[in-house]
Amino acid sequence: MAAIDSKIISVDEYLTRDATAAALTAAGFPVKAKTLATKACRGGGPPYRLFGTRPLYRWGDAIEWALSRLSAPRCTSSEAAIDG
């Protein structure tokens, strides 16, 4: 769970694109709403659904997407060359 403005977010809660970007940033994954919009067009972003014309992101899906972008733990910067 994460919190936006002292409100706890359930993993099943749907958020607007702006709210998703704010929640991800508050959780330590800095991302802008514009980046989510670009990824919605080009691919590579979190899954979303449309409510009319408005994209909604399930918080659980958004945080799973952000976690999937993390590298493996590293002890030194030289380990980056090993990961490729």
pLDDT tens digit string along 31-74?
999 999 999 999 999 999 999 999 999 999 999 999 999 988 88
Judge whether 80 lies within some domain: no
CA atoms within 13 A on the CB side of 21: 13
List beta partners, residue 58.
14
Residue span of the structural domain in which 46 resides: 2-69
Quick check: helix, strand or coil at residue 11?
A: coil
List beta partners, residue 15.
57
Residues whose CB is less than 8 angstroms from the CB of residue 41 and which lie 6 or more positions away in sequence, other chains included? none
Judge whether 81 lies within some domain: no
Judge whether 56 lies within some domain: yes
Judge whether 82 lies within some domain: no
- Say how many Å lie between the first and final Cα of the chain, rounded: 32
Q: Name the pTM for this structure.
A: 0.83
Judge whether 45 lies within some domain: yes
pLDDT tens digit string along 15-35?
999 999 999 999 999 999 999
Count of structural domains within the chain: 1
| Tokens linked to 44 | 């590579």
